[in-house]
Structure 1
Amino acid sequence: MRSAEEFEELRPLLFAIAYRILGSVSEAEDAVQETWLRYEATPTQPTSAKAFLSAVVTRISIDVLRSARARREEYAGQWFPEPLLADPYEDPERSAELADSVSMAALLLLERLSPLERAVFVLREVFAFDFPEIASAVGRSDAACRQLAVRARRHMDAGRARFEADRREREELAGRFFDAIREGDVAGLQELLAADVQMVGDSGGKAPLWGKGVFGAGNVARVLASLLPQFVRIGGVVEPHEVNGQPGAVFRDRDGKVVNTLALDILDGQIQTIRAVINPDKLGHLGPVADAWAVIREANQARRPTD
């Protein structure tokens, strides 16, 4: 029987690899569990548990991603990754780099890659595996993996978003943003939003959403300033929280159930993109999920006559 303690020490890394390949908390957790079952069933002790387990979780994730691609092509509306509030894998020397690699923007860019390119990029660029290890994990030669890495890096660099480097400045701006939406301060919001800001959401066709998105600082500010004070009025709570390594929030109803998450892309002192995940199927790992339709109905009924 394999060492459960050794596996548990590596679990954060295995989850971090699987999540970046899959963009799904639930699928990543399943991949890690399947990795343990295969590890436990291995007749001989691997020379390196880290190399063995990383290879197994990578292969499982590639297979899951290939089957998931067809489902995502038929997905209702925009597809976003399942929100991740805390990455269990920590490396103090690379914390900023790891946070950027798990951002919504980065994961959406990874969606453009083939499953093999995605796996090679994650192992090489995010976790600094060497090419022999990567070749063993994905079942390709060193040379093929180098080519995959070059192609993947080229695609990622072409579309990679930059984020505000100073964490404290990002958090301060996000705090002002959430204060302004609670207060319905349209002018205050507009000051914080880039002129071409986009507010987009993933409802999976199962929750209320503002069409294909809201665009432009004025429009986004007015929508937020009209919706959020009503939400707070009926007992809703805006809980600031890091979401996928970036400033964001979890929205909860009066009973503490999750309504949605919001993640902010911040650059040059302004909010460039706001991404909401409202699909209840993607929120269950955060706790009990609210009926977003019921929350919206109650908020509309609570609208003041002067609103």
Structure 2
Amino acid sequence: MRVFEDGRFGARGGAAAGGGDAGAGRTRTEEFVELRPLLFSIAYRILGTVSEAEDAVQETWLRYEASATRPASVKAFLSATVTRIAIDVLRSARVRRESYVGQWLPEPLLTDPYEDPARSAELADSVSMAALLLLERLSPLERAVFVLREVFAFGFPEVASAVGRSEAACRQLAVRARRHMEAGRPRFEADRRERDELAARFFDALREGDVDALRELLAADVQLVGDGGGKAPALARSVVGTDNVARLLAAFFPLLMRIEVTLEPCEVNGLPGAVLRDRHGRVANTWALDVLDGRIQAIHTVANPDKLGHVGPVADAWELQREAMRARRSQGPSH
């Protein structure tokens, strides 16, 4: 039985950036609820999945509740516990991901429950699809050290305690991880208003099936990546190039408009995105856009139903595809 079910993603916890140390009159439940947003956010960045991150947080609570003594720093204790659990889960998950059907993408995250104004840029950047895919290239220890040190600004003594390595070893792990991350991609630092306006234009062009408008918004080497996991039709495992991506999208999306599918713009993994829903409001897939230099650099779509349950009731994507094909045969192409 899952504890704190009403506090999914720690919504009641607020920022809780530096709180959580034991205080007079505070219960363990109150201390845990306050820190839950931080714990989930750490676990999600290490694991790349919402469901496994929630399970790691749940296990952390069970261990805290069962511990005989009260730690001097509840934040340090809980952060270390959730990190160790996430590392163990990640080691087994990496084996499963090697046999994954098609392209593996992180589970989409619509709302990151942890907020820290002083770390807002690092928090947003670290949760993007591109960053999470780069983190997949790191060893579990490198990934955990990078998340704790570079994203959440934990001191090396706390990092060392969390991962069970010396401070010197953690410094080396941090250097290697940072080097890999910095070499992998530029930071997506587009102005928020400019970024959101570009995304709005993109989704308008998508609804209209306007190839030329789409071309104007896509980078020359834009990549469209889809994750169906063998359990749903992926838009594309991987398509590269302005013309290829624009033509595929313009041919695909008007079919869905005919069967009353809607596109709900929202933030996905800290970047512009959308949720695709069927006529009953059920989730078919999610979209996340990487934007840089006034162009869309990458589009990530997740359709695997196993990765969408936390977003809402999930649609039957295979049936949507069949219905769209019937609509095309009965009405003919719109362009």
Q: TM-score interval w.r.t. the shorter chain?
A: over 0.9
- Which position in structure 1 is the counterpart of 2:116? 91
- Which position in structure 2 is the counterpart of 1:40? 65
**TM score, norm. by length of structure 2:** 0.89
How many angstroms apart in 2 are the aligned matches of 1:57 and 1:110? 18
1:134-283 aligned within 5 A: 134-283=159-308
Moved more, 292-301 or 25-34: 292-301
Give, in angstroms, the shift of residue 218 of structure 1.
1.3
- Give, as a single letter, the amino acid of the residue that structure 2 aligns with 1:68: A
How many angstroms apart in 2 are the aligned matches of 1:121 and 1:215? 30
Instruction: Specify the SS of the correspondent of 2:279.
Output: coil
Instruction: Specify the SS of the correspondent of 1:284.
Output: coil
Question: Does structure 2 conserve the Cα–Cα contact (< 8 Å) formed by 1:2 and 1:40?
Answer: no
How many residues get paired? 307
- Give, as a single letter, the amino acid of the residue that structure 2 aligns with 1:243: V
Question: Does structure 2 conserve the Cα–Cα contact (< 8 Å) formed by 1:2 and 1:45?
Answer: no
Give, in angstroms, the shift of residue 165 of structure 1.
2.8
Question: Does structure 1 conserve the Cα–Cα contact (< 8 Å) formed by 2:190 and 2:294?
Answer: no
Q: Deviations along 1:178-222, whole A, 9 cap, x unmatched?
A: 001101111111100111111111111111124532221112111
Matched, 1:70 2:95: yes
52, 73, 79: which one aligns with 1:27: 52
- Give, as a single letter, the amino acid of the residue that structure 2 aligns with 1:9: E
- Which position in structure 1 is the counterpart of 2:139? 114
Q: Deviations along 1:211-255, whole A, 9 cap, x unmatched?
A: 532221112111111211221221111000111001010000000
How many angstroms apart in 1 are the aligned matches of 2:181 and 2:89? 22
Moved more, 162-171 or 135-144: 162-171
Instruction: Specify the SS of the correspondent of 1:208.
Output: coil
Specify whether residues 291 and 234 from structure 1 end up closer, same or farther in structure 2 by C-alpha distance, changes over 3 A only: same
- Which position in structure 2 is the counterpart of 1:131? 156
Question: Does structure 2 conserve the Cα–Cα contact (< 8 Å) formed by 1:200 and 1:213?
Answer: yes
How many angstroms apart in 2 are the aligned matches of 1:223 and 1:276? 14
Specify whether residues 191 and 85 from structure 1 end up closer, same or farther in structure 2 by C-alpha distance, changes over 3 A only: same
Specify whether residues 306 and 42 from structure 1 end up closer, same or farther in structure 2 by C-alpha distance, changes over 3 A only: closer
Q: Deviations along 1:244-291, whole A, 9 cap, x unmatched?
A: 001010000000110000110111100011111111111111111111
Instruction: Specify the SS of the correspondent of 2:256.
Output: helix
Moved more, 159-168 or 31-40: 159-168
**TM score, norm. by length of structure 1:** 0.97
Instruction: Specify the SS of the correspondent of 1:176.
Output: helix
How many angstroms apart in 2 are the aligned matches of 1:241 and 1:212? 23
Indicate the percent of aligned positions where both proteins have the same amino acid: 76
Runs of 5+ consecutive residues of structure 2 not aligned to the other structure: 1-25
- Give, as a single letter, the amino acid of the residue that structure 2 aligns with 1:46: P
Specify whether residues 4 and 267 from structure 1 end up closer, same or farther in structure 2 by C-alpha distance, changes over 3 A only: same
78, 101, 108: which one aligns with 2:126: 101
Give, in angstroms, the shift of residue 306 of structure 1.
4.3
Question: Does structure 1 conserve the Cα–Cα contact (< 8 Å) formed by 2:205 and 2:214?
Answer: yes
- Which position in structure 2 is the counterpart of 1:305? 332
Root-mean-square deviation (Å): 1.2
- Give, as a single letter, the amino acid of the residue that structure 2 aligns with 1:289: V
How many angstroms apart in 1 are the aligned matches of 2:180 and 2:333? 50
Question: Does structure 1 conserve the Cα–Cα contact (< 8 Å) formed by 2:111 and 2:269?
Answer: yes
- Give, as a single letter, the amino acid of the residue that structure 1 aligns with 2:183: A
Specify whether residues 306 and 116 from structure 1 end up closer, same or farther in structure 2 by C-alpha distance, changes over 3 A only: closer
Instruction: Specify the SS of the correspondent of 1:285.
Output: coil
